Amino acid sequence: MYKFTQMATENSADKQLVLVTGALGFIGSCLALDLLRSGKYRVAICDDLSADRKLPNIEGAIFEHVIERSQLISVLEIGGLPEIDLILHIGARTDTTEFDKTIFDELNLNYSKAIWKICVDRKIPLVYASSASTYGAGELGYKDDHAIIATLKPLNPYGDSKNDFDKWVLQQEMTPPHWYGLKFFNVYGPNELHKSRMASVIFHAFNQLNETGKVKLFRSHRNDFEDGKQLRDFIYVKDVIQVIEWLINRYPISGIYNLGTGKARTFYDLATATAAAMEIPLHVEWIDIPSDIRDKYQYFTEADMHKLRAAGYNHTFYTLEDGISDYTRNYLLVHKNY
């Protein structure tokens, strides 16, 4: 049984208290742990604490406050946790195979609206997780321009919920003192074991190679793409964390920003890098894209990163090969969490 430790940190009154939602999940847990280990912040976390499969992600960590997801809004609305200086709202229902819109309305849209309003009332800066799924099939490109957000057409209820919140945010006259919506592209890295089928392709490629010696890749059903040459913008979770920490230290112009590498890579590149990191030969098993998703399958995504760069972010991103090598050798092969 995994347990959390909740403890006020000594001699830390001068440190900002940061609340991370979704802190048991993949990105949220890595972010909360990184902030904690930096020694620069006091960290409070919020999530569904009954989700046992996620508990190993932050086992042994000591946080200032641990809050059940269902209780957070009521706690904050009555003035609880008055010392919160910043909210990083990473929590969301992220299952793209779920088609019950009411679930996304409750957990992604309305929950996020409530957090936004609290940040406005209490003048708390806010960073929240949007998604590249808002771009749909990419008919309008992948530019994080506020002017096109209302016209985007996501391909599933998850993407709709994220875009609905983005649209709502842009209609608000009252805003937090600083706010950032981050359109995450294809994030991979440690602490995603609990995501099962929704884990990154790198995670699945590693397990397939480890168990069968082969990796399954989709054939192409379009004449303009070769098998396995479908493209995605894969970004390592350590880069995601670095961008978020840069934002909360610099506070550039508020807005919605893409968060990818700006460089699309093929699934074949991904499989090659994974096999190389495992030091085994690559064998591919080609499979058809399932017929029920074939008409909605994306063949290309690539974040336009000019907006974040123009805001002053000048760090380099992990290459796909370097990110997969670090993830595979320092986490997957040695069964280590972040």
- What residue spans define the domains of the chain? 5-188+235-263+301-318
Q: β-strand 215-218 against 126-131: which pairing, if any? A: unpaired
Give the tens place of pLDDT for each residue, 240-295: 999 999 999 999 999 999 999 999 999 999 999 999 999 999 999 999 998 878 88
pLDDT at residue 93 in the model = 77
Residue 325 has pLDDT above 60, yes or no: yes
Residue 149 has pLDDT above 70, yes or no: yes
Q: What share of the chain is helix, strand, coil (3-state, %, to 5)?
A: 40, 20, 40
Task: State which amino acid sits at residue 191.
Answer: N
**121 token code pair:** 């009332």
Are 211 and 280 within 8 A, CB to CB? no
Are 87 and 125 within 8 A, CB to CB? yes
Just give the CATH number of 5-188+235-263+301-318: 3.40.50.720
Q: How far apart are CA 208 and CA 144, in angstroms?
A: 35
Task: State which amino acid sits at residue 8.
Answer: A
Instruction: State the catalytic residue, choosing from 41, 158, 180, 327.
Output: 158
Q: How far apart are CA 237 and CA 43, in angstroms?
A: 19
pTM of the model: 0.94
331 classed as catalytic: no
pLDDT at residue 233 in the model = 98
Instruction: State the catalytic residue, choosing from 117, 195, 214, 216.
Output: 195
158 classed as catalytic: yes
Phi, psi angle pair for 185, to nearest 5°? -90, -140
